[in-house]
Amino acid sequence: MSRIFFNGTIFTADRDEPFVEALVSDGETIVYVGTAADAFAAAGADAEAVDLEGRMLMPGIHDAHTHLLASGVKYLYETRLPPFASADRVVATLAASPASTPGVECCAWHVGGEVFPPAAGDLPLTRSQLDEAYPDQPVYLFDYSIHHGVANSTALELAGIDEDAEFGHGGVYRRDGSGRLTGELIEEATWKVLHAIPDRTAEEYRSALRWAISVCHQFGITSVQEASASRQALDAYRDLDDAGELDLHVAAHLVWRNEGFGMGTAAELDAHLANAEQWRTRHLDPGFVKIWIDGAPLPPVPTHATLDENGRVDGSWLLVAEDALADILTTFDAAGRTVKVHCAGEGAVRTCLNALKTVRSRNGAGVPHEVAHAGFVADDDFARFTEVDATAEMSPALWHIPEYGLGAGFHFARMVRGGVRMTIGSDWIITPNPNLFPGIQGAVQHATQPIDLRTALEAVTRVGAEAVGRAHHRGTLGVGKSADFILLDRDLFAVDDDQIGDAVVLETYVEGRRVYARDAGAPGEGS
């Protein structure tokens, strides 16, 4: 169906022509942008005329960092715990919730999250407290970073973790003052427990993904980077696309040797990377890679790689050494596969940039790679992003929330002034939903590092498409581009900055088809 959109603010995100009077879409494609008079002539007499009534049309949002399958499973199937709850309240919440893995032959698990620490100190519950309530049933609770968790004795036993268990570099089995395991598992020490949790059915994964996609549409997201593309996620995406149900462009970052986020063994993950093309569909591109080289900068156990007082990388939580990272990146770069490298701390960022410098010296100019999160960067490293053609992928979009203490990080203005390719991601699973408009407002108002609204919107549209090599297809509203756009309830360029974060998506279009209309109702969690 041909449609003409007019009488509002139409932001194209195009460098040369950021605003136009009208847009015409025909089927899956944008066929005209320009003046209203010429648009009506181009559309033809049978076109549906959509009066914007002063509201704003813009490209669909590209979420540069999200975990859709994990988020769907989290909200549909796992127990949701109240924030900052005491141990007693956590146990009471579990008791009132059904087991998370019904129908398994033995020992249905209680899986849930997130466990938040108090203002200071450790997590509010231990293995012993869980054992009192669940002496025979396995329980595993993610902490709020998703990188760590706490398990009861049955879960530890099923995972093969006993009192004599030790963990080398990359993880910790925490112990109390007497040397007994507390049940708290840090970083890679979670893997054995995660492997022990029974896998869900293919239909459950498809249902989780359907729901997550519907939430994306609610918030105007038409394109994503799936930042932990496990086999389970890839199968679900492929199945939905084969059935004509994937109304989303997905750049899938297959997991390199992180057995937790990858939901498989290292050998299985290597096989997935080697055979990625089996998952390629019209809307699913499996040609990307994800590597974690440190953890999370959050209490009670920060696991990000930092710099010491002399500017040297503290390797305590560096999960991949620089030389090894350079070799890995060299291989993927030569194969034309963009890698998203998880870098939570300044030390991880420096390690990644050093490795990319080596890659460029070996391979020459190749595909752009991404420094994921990029919230904490040492002064000496900002200019190096452009030198090695690295994208600064800013996530999770929580910099506007004072409780997270991120006000001193995320140097948006400095990145922009340096000509760095900068994208923005929600990191949905950490965040309660993938709504990026509060994050956009936060970037515009970010203390000493604010950026203008146009630049912030470009980061979640055009630059996102550029980062995954799809600028020819989407990211801007231009002739020949996919008809992916959203209608907002307000003109963001005409309201006070304080009102940007409250923007409501009224309609979302993917390839010319309206996939969400607010009048039709919204999905549950995150609405």
105 phi, psi to nearest 5 deg: -65, -35
More confident site: 524 or 162: 162
pLDDT-based confidence at 525, cuts 50/70/90? very low
Q: Largest alpha-carbon pair distance within the chain?
A: 81
Q: Is 329 inside a domain boundary?
A: no
For residue 408, the model assigns a pLDDT of: 85
pLDDT at 393 over 90: yes
- The stretch 199-225 carries a mean pLDDT of 97
pLDDT-based confidence at 106, cuts 50/70/90? low
Q: Is 151 inside a domain boundary?
A: yes
Q: Give the residue from 45, 39, 7 showing the smallest Cα distance to 25.
A: 39
Residue written as token pair 């002063």: 54
Contact 237, 523 (CB under 8 A): no
For residue 105, the model assigns a pLDDT of: 55
337-353 tens-digit pLDDT: 999 999 999 999 999 99
Q: Give the residue from 60, 472, 64, 481 showing the smallest Cα distance to 288.
A: 64
Other Cβ atoms less than 10 A from the Cβ of 89: the count is 14
Contact 358, 326 (CB under 8 A): yes
Q: Is 76 inside a domain boundary?
A: no
215-252 tens-digit pLDDT: 999 999 999 999 999 999 999 999 999 999 999 999 99
Q: Is 349 inside a domain boundary?
A: no
pLDDT at 213 over 70: yes
Q: Is 130 inside a domain boundary?
A: yes
SS3 call for 130: helix
DSSP per position, 269-303: HHHHHHTGGGG--SSEEEEEEEEE-S----SSS--
At 111, list the tokens. Answer: 């899986």
352 phi, psi to nearest 5 deg: -65, -45
7 phi, psi to nearest 5 deg: 65, 50
CATH of the domain at 137: 3.10.310
Q: Is 82 inside a domain boundary?
A: no
For residue 124, the model assigns a pLDDT of: 84
DSSP type of residue 317: G
- The stretch 86-105 carries a mean pLDDT of 82
pLDDT-based confidence at 276, cuts 50/70/90? very high
Q: Is 433 inside a domain boundary?
A: no
Contact 376, 399 (CB under 8 A): no
Distance CA 286, CA 290 (A): 11
For residue 102, the model assigns a pLDDT of: 65
- Report the domain count for the chain: 1
3-state secondary structure 380-403: HHCCHHHHCCEEEEECCCCCCCHH
- List the domain range (segments joined by +) for residue 151: 102-196
For residue 119, the model assigns a pLDDT of: 62
Angstrom distances, CA of residue 424 to CA of 61, 140, 276, 360: 10, 31, 26, 25
Distance CA 14, CA 476 (A): 6
Q: Give the residue from 223, 244, 164 showing the smallest Cα distance to 461.
A: 223
Residue written as token pair 């990272």: 325
73-86 tens-digit pLDDT: 999 999 999 888 88
Q: Where are the beta strands (DSSP E) in 116-263?
A: 139-143, 149-151, 171-175, 181-187, 221-229, 249-255
Lowest-confidence region among 109-118, 195-204, 422-431: 109-118
Distance CA 97, CA 268 (A): 33
Distance CA 405, CA 346 (A): 16
Distance CA 505, CA 516 (A): 9
Record the pTM.
0.96
Contact 447, 407 (CB under 8 A): yes
At 87, list the tokens. Answer: 């141990």
CA atoms lying within 13 Å on the CB side of residue 498 = 0
pLDDT at 447 over 90: no
Q: Where are the beta strands (DSSP E) in 48-120?
A: 48-51, 56-59, 61-66, 79-80, 110-115
pLDDT at 407 over 90: no
Please state, rounded to an integer, the average pLDDT across all residues of the chain: 94
Length of the chain in terms of residues written: 527
The rounded percent of the chain whose pLDDT value lies above 70 is 97
> Which of 100-138 are b and which e, b meaning 16 or more Cβ less than 10 Å from the residue's Cβ?
bbeeeeebbbbbbbbbbbeeeebbbbbbebbbebbeebb
Residues 6+ apart with CB under 8 A from 407: 399, 446, 447
More confident site: 486 or 407: 486
Angstrom distances, CA of residue 320 to CA of 9, 145, 315, 371: 47, 20, 9, 14
SS3 call for 331: helix
The rounded percent of the chain whose pLDDT value lies above 90 is 87
For residue 103, the model assigns a pLDDT of: 61
- The stretch 279-307 carries a mean pLDDT of 96
